[in-house]
Structures are given as C-alpha cells and as structure tokens.
A and B are shown apart, each in its own frame.
Chain A
C-alpha cells in the first residue's frame, strides 16, 4: 500500500542549493512560473492549451518554459487530444483552458476520459478569488460542474497551496484507477508571488490509498481455480493496458493455456493473431467469444468492469461460471456481476505473482469446441459487387499497415467494424471512446496520439457524422505537420442510429441522415490532402496514397449506405442470443 502523504515527487529538487526551508533569501516566483516548474517536474513536455483572459499570465510564463503548447481549435478538441496523448503514451495528458466557456467546453472531454479511466490533468482559469460567487465576467462554477466527471478536482484558494495541489493532481490522476483531475486556478493565484522549491510541496492525501499488490491468499485461490477449470475463459479489459500488464497477461495465457477475449478497451492487450484469442466479446463481439463466456466454467476478469455492453441480460450472463475478478478498484468488484474470488490490486503485480502458481493444462476438448465455433461463425461480410464495404476498407488498411498503426475512431458502426476487422496485436494502439461513446473523439484523438508518437502511423477510422462534430481540428493537424490519416467510412447516415431504427423502429429513419459536404474539398480548404473513393477497386490505391502522404490526409470512402454491424446481441438478450450470424456456406467462403 502506497501511503500518499509522502513527499511530492520531484526531478530537479535535491540538486538545488536552497533546499533548506530557512534559507535566507529565497527567490520569489510568480504563481505562473511555479505552475510551469511543477509541470516540468512532473515530466510534462507538451500540453494542449487554449488561452483566454484569466490564463494569460500562465500562457505568458509558458513561453519561457520547456513545455511546448499545442493549440486546438476548440477546448473539447484539446481535451480529447490530452486524453489520447495519455492513451497512446501512458503518460498524463495535460489540457489548459480559460474560465467560463473555456472550462465548460472541456466537460465532454473530461467525461470521456473519466468513463475510460484515462490519466489527465485539466487546468482551468478562474476569476480572481474575491470575485468568485459574484457572477463575474466569464465565471462558472467549474469545480461544481466537473465534480461528477473527474476523479477529483480542486480550486486553489491560497498561493501557498498551488504547488502541493498541482503535485497531488498528477499523483491522483496517474495512480490507482487512473482518471482526470481538474485544478481550477484563479488568476490572482497565477500572479501571486510565492516561494517554490521542488520537493517542498508535501502532498496531503491521508485518505488516498492505492493497493497495488494483491492479497496473496486471493491470488493463490484464483490460480487454483484456474488450474482446476476445464473450460476457463479470460476476459481482459482496459485495466490491462492502463496497468501496463500485457506481457504478464500473455505469460498467464500461454502458461495456463486458456482462451482469452478482450473488451473494446482491452483491444491490443493481447495479440489477436494468437490462436488463443477470441477477439472482442459483447454486443458486437464475436460469436465464439460470447459462446465461450456463456459456456465457460470459470471466468477470469482482469481489469474489466462488466459493462452492460458485454454482459447482455445480467441474470443470464456466464451462467455456468465461477467468477474471478482482478481489479484495482474495489468499487468495480461485485458492482453488477457477483464475484466469487475478488483480487484487489494492480493487474501487473497480481499476474506476475499468479503465474507462479499456474499449471499448464491441455484442455483439448474445450479448444476443440472453440475452434468449431470459430469455423462455423467467423466474422464475415459480403464483399461482392463494386460498392465499397466499410469492413473491406478496414481490412485493407490493416493489411497495408501490417496491423501496426495506432488506430483511433469516432463512435458508431465504423467504430465496431474497426474493433472487429482491424487485428490488434499491440497495446496502446487502439484509441476509442468506450464508456461515454463520444462522437467527435476520433480526429482530436488522432492528433493527440500523433503528438505522443511522432513516428507512428496514426489512422482515424471515422464516421461522417462523428467527423462532422470536430473536423474543425483539421487545421490543428496541418499547422503542426501531423501526418494523420483520416479514413472516413462515409455512409451518409448516423449509421448506428439508422441500424437501430431499421431493426427496432420499422425503418423510420428519423433525423439520422445528414447532407454531407465534399469532405475531400473541406480537407483541401483546411490545407490537408483530400481524396475521394467511390468504388471498391479504388480502395487499395487510395490507401496507398494516404499512407504515403507526409501531411494530414482525409480519404472520403463512399461506402455501402445501409450496411449493418453483425453479429449483434440486442438489448435485453442474453449473450449467446446473437442476431446476424453467418447462414452462408462458410466452408465455401474459406
């Protein structure tokens, strides 16, 4: 257990000469300078920031610091960028905005990060402390508004608290179950004169305890249950990625010899090309993953939270299984599904220990059954005709990028097809809003990911409607020379909405189609490269061109308009009750 009342972490502190607190002439610095120093000491070298009245002193100080600033076109975009920067790099993402409208514009981004447990620090400007509560110009009750969508938030009311609070914010954001932390910074704090020596800001978090190592007895129990199981399944989630536990997970899977499925947010936590992979489970998961969960005698959940998108009807979820749950957050345990063997702690630490107690089992019958499901119910789509199938675009991009791209998405059908048809083999390579399902996440996320990983190929599979929500960030990518690749799977619909209307509302397509512009022309107007592809045979060439581009590139694929995402577990159904399973002769297709 890490008692967090320890000294704030610092990088430069001890070297400086004036470290004694009673040093005679301590230098006075402005709150803004201190702000920059704390961030530097926390390892921040880049942040996403949009200025305004009350944060001008901070932006001014940033010019003299080592921290680089990327300015988005909208604070929501900036917040998603910081979020994706964190998802791609594993570091804490930072966003800095002004008070009032700047702060309220971050709310969607904070909620997105909060739902997916992403480590992020948001700093919002605030009016002068004496004005707070007076409906001052550009005042908003930012801590009040953001409390439900942050892991924790602060308002700095006294200059002497500034450094401590900022250090605490980073500590809370990155440890335990990560999450966004907001610090509301009144302008008079940013301009105050104060002392700061790194290392002097002592964190005061007596109530914040993180349990990293699991309870030994529980770990052994979990291992024994796995050793004894005839038909076990591992179900791994975002926690494997957040906790950096993919190598340990792979060791466990290989040593124990068990099939493994991941959630949407767990994609890349295990190599999907491995024969033990069942790929994604849930509403739009594979049939073999869902069948395996429903038939298994032991379900080992690792860093996953039994979201309703993966359980289907809760009362009929994994009916034959004993449940092991490894999670760092006790509130995740037995929240919806009753757990038999809980193990609280970090996935990496727990799996490292657990592997020592694992015996290899053959489980030929179980794998035989699974392979039969895989043969009978593969993920397939109809690729006949000359129109472009969205799944084909994804498969082709996967092939040309050899499955190595960092992939971002919007929200909708294209997001599900990406999860199904791009084969993920590496962690931090799939970046998508799972919990909140935020349309418009894709483009700013791609920008944040490319900033974090300048040498990577970053692809944003986006929907036409999702993209329309934040395409104002295209010039941000152009300005910073970020060669991100936007693959628009343009069906001219809010496809996911249209699919539900087709299935459950008698094809009454209420408000779900939008008249879209020429996205290639829009891209060109913003200084990016725009390409349009309308037929299947144009696809490989368009992708080749896109991948070769050195600047931001948008390819508008006009795809089959009324394609549906299959298979699907409709709301209220049990996991094995999947619609849209292949009825075609799969032997012939293979």
Chain B
C-alpha cells in the first residue's frame, strides 16, 4: 500500500543523504521523493511516498524522526489530501494525429509547452492517477520521454504532527 509521509528537515548539507541512506540501509521502498524549500529558509520539506504495510510505515516514520536533522514527520495516512505530481511528457506528433492529441490535452486540462517538428511537449499536473492515465492514453501515439517531479501533498485541514509524544531520539 502506498502512503505519503512529509518530513520537515533542516536545510543543512547531507540531510538528503541521511534520509536516502536510511531508506536503503533498512530496505524500505521509496516510490517517490520530492524535496523543496519551505516558507522558512532554515527548513526544507521532503514528501516521500512509501510502499508498505502499517508496521513498516510505522517503522519508517520512527526511523525518519530519529535522523538528527529531521525536525518533524507527518504521516498523512487517512488525511484528506491534495496530492500533486508535475509531469513533462514528449509525445509523437504526426500531422494526422494532431487533432486527437490536442483533444486529449484539453480533456486532461494539460498544457502544450513546446512543439517540435516531430514531438509535442505537454505539461500535466494532478494526482498520480491522472498522470498515469495521461501516459496510458498517449502511449499508442508514441511517448518519447517522461519527466516527473514525484508527488507532493498538503492536507486540506490544518494538520498537527501525529502525536509524537511517545517518540524521541
């Protein structure tokens, strides 16, 4: 099962390496990992989609919290979330298919960001399923390249970190 964790981390050298190393060393499966700045220049946010059962996710959460420069970990399981992934995709664009592809782009509320002689580049944002669906629909036309950011997520309701009072380092 896929679960989304979000970690606020100190903006210091080596933090990403610490997190990545922990996942590798404990053979946890990362589905995607997105890192970006926050409103606070001292902190970055990592949004991590992990695959695993309840007990595994619980260990992942605790192991993440244990990393010294990790400030807070939020487990978004069961939360109402807005989840977004951003994709750039290059699709073959032969003249006879242009209308069809154009229609698909519109249906997905995606955006054409570049057109070459043979390919069109499209920008798609949305929850993972939408992105996957777009790739599937484009496949028959020929998908040349896909770049995705990995999922980011924000709960709809103000969220406090899971009661971590039992946790410590």
Contact = CB atoms under 8 A, between A and B. Distances in A.
12 contacts: A147-B17, A148-B25, A209-B168, A210-B169, A211-B165, A211-B168, A215-B166, A329-B168, A330-B167, A331-B63, A344-B168, A345-B168
A197 B21 CA distance: 36
Given A148-B25, A157-B13, A335-B59, A207 B168 contact: no
Interface in B46-78: 55, 58-59, 62-63, 65-72
B6 interface: no
A344 B63 CA distance: 15
Given A152-B68, A344-B168, 8 more contacts: A206-B71, A207-B10, A207-B67, A210-B168, A329-B169, A330-B167, A331-B63, A344-B166
B98 interface: no
Given A155-B13, A207-B9, A334-B55, A1 B166 contact: no
Interface residues of A, number: 33
Contact of B14 (A155, A172, A329): A155
B18 interface: yes
B71 A344 contact: no
Nearest to B169: A176
Given A152-B68, A330-B62, A147 B18 contact: yes
B146 to A, nearest CB: 30
A376 B138 CA distance: 75
A449 B72 CA distance: 39
Interface of A: 1, 143-144, 147-148, 151-155, 157, 172, 176-177, 204-212, 215, 328-331, 334-335, 342, 344-345
B16 to A, nearest CB: 11
A152 B69 CA distance: 9
Contacts of A152: 68
B129 to A, nearest CB: 33
A212 to B, nearest CB: 8
B68 to A, nearest CB: 4
Give the top 10 A-B pairs by smallest Cβ distance, nearest first. A211-B168, A207-B71, A152-B68, A331-B62, A330-B167, A344-B166, A176-B169, A330-B62, A207-B70, A210-B168
B168 to A, nearest CB: 3
Interface of B: 9-10, 13-14, 17-18, 21, 25, 55, 58-59, 62-63, 65-72, 165-169
Contacts of A176: 168-169
A334 B25 contact: no
Nearest to A206: B71
Contacts of A1: 168
Given A207-B72, A334-B58, A344 B167 contact: yes
Contacts of A155: 13-14
Nearest to A342: B166
Contact of B167 (A153, A177, A211): A211
Contacts of B25: 148
A144 B167 CA distance: 27
Contacts of B59: 331, 335
A334 B62 CA distance: 11
B169 A209 contact: yes
Contacts of A215: 165-166
Contacts of B169: 176-177, 208-210, 329
Contacts of B70: 207
Contact of B166 (A143, A153, A154, A211): A211
B20 to A, nearest CB: 10
Q: Which of B63, B65, B68 has the most CB of A within 10 A?
A: B68
A155 B14 CA distance: 9
Nearest to A176: B169
Contacts of B62: 330-331
Nearest to A204: B10
